[in-house]
Amino acid sequence: MYIQLLDLACGAFLLTGVLVLWRRELSAIVWLFALQGVALTALVVILGVRQDSPELIMIGVGVGALRAGLLPYLMRRALVAGGAGRETQPLVNVATSLLVAAALAMLAYALSQPLVRLSPTPATQTVPIALTVLLIGFFVLVTRRRALSQLVGFLLMDNAITATAFLTTSGVPLVVELGISLDVLLAVLVLQVLTTWMCAAFGGTDLDELRELHD
């Protein structure tokens, strides 16, 4: 049952990551990101229950509050402030990027083989999934034009890094996790301020339009 629940949480984690590539509406992307936060929370809590460690469960709840609650809330506010609700035209079209995601998944599986072989437990066997989401997040980050969807790409990468950390080391010290989470929160706050500024200054957040410097 433990293995199945863990696999299911990982599956949901992967599915939400892939669907981010698929959808064009920014509000849907933010919603998917929140769902991924829920999947990540479930992942950490399942690991915590398995290892009987209240600390890990606490961290899981904290991670959930941040990634499924606060960050999507902040992004939704930025979205409302930003106005336009669609990713206009990604640099790579959606059908191609889905196929690229398939190739990235294969790459992640190939790369994580040595890592899995170090200690083949059910938890480490799911590491390829976290790496796939990491690569997909990076792909979103480099191919999207809107500031907000680039932000989601960045946060996907961060979710994946967190997931990898929990899956491989089975328990990051609380201090480290807190530090990382605060960093991420700070980054999002800064980017939100930036987005609002960009909207105020240029009337949009399409980064390809920003070619010249204003003062």
Partner 1 sequence: MSVVGATLQVVFVGVGAPLLVGVMRQARARLEGRAGAGIRQPWRDLRKLMRKQAITPHGTGWVFRAAPLLLAGTTLVVAAVVPLVTTDSPLDGVADLFAVTALLALGSVALALGALDTGTAFGGMGASREMTVLALVEPTILVSTFALSIKAGSTSLGAIVTATADNPLSVISPVSVLAAIALAIVTIAETGRIPLDNPSTHLELTMIHEAMVLEYAGPDLALVEWASAMRLSVLLGLLAGLFFPLGIAGADAGPLALAVASIALVLKVGVLGVVLAVGEVFMAKLRLFRVPELLAGSFLLALLAVAASFFLA
Binding site for partner 1 (CB under 8 A): 1, 4-5, 7-8, 10-12, 14-15, 18, 22, 93-95, 98-99, 101-102, 105-106, 109, 116, 125-126, 128-129, 132
For the chain, what is the radius of gyration of the CA atoms? 18
67-77 burial, b for 16+ CB within 10 Å, e for fewer? Answer: bbeebbebbbe
Which tokens go with 181? 């989470």
Which amino acid belongs to residue 57? I
For the CB of residue 138, give the shortest distance to partner 1 in the complex, in Å: 17
Which amino acid belongs to residue 149? S
For the CB of residue 113, give the shortest distance to partner 1 in the complex, in Å: 9
Measured distance CA(30)–CA(181) in Å, rounded = 18
**Helix/strand/coil percent split, the chain, to 5:** 80, 0, 15
For the CB of residue 161, give the shortest distance to partner 1 in the complex, in Å: 19
Nearer to partner 1, 74 or 94 (CB): 94
For the CB of residue 14, give the shortest distance to partner 1 in the complex, in Å: 7
Nearer to partner 1, 107 or 161 (CB): 107
Measured distance CA(141)–CA(156) in Å, rounded = 9
For the CB of residue 206, give the shortest distance to partner 1 in the complex, in Å: 21
Nearer to partner 1, 87 or 177 (CB): 87
Nearer to partner 1, 15 or 141 (CB): 15
Which tokens go with 32? 């998917």
Nearer to partner 1, 39 or 59 (CB): 39
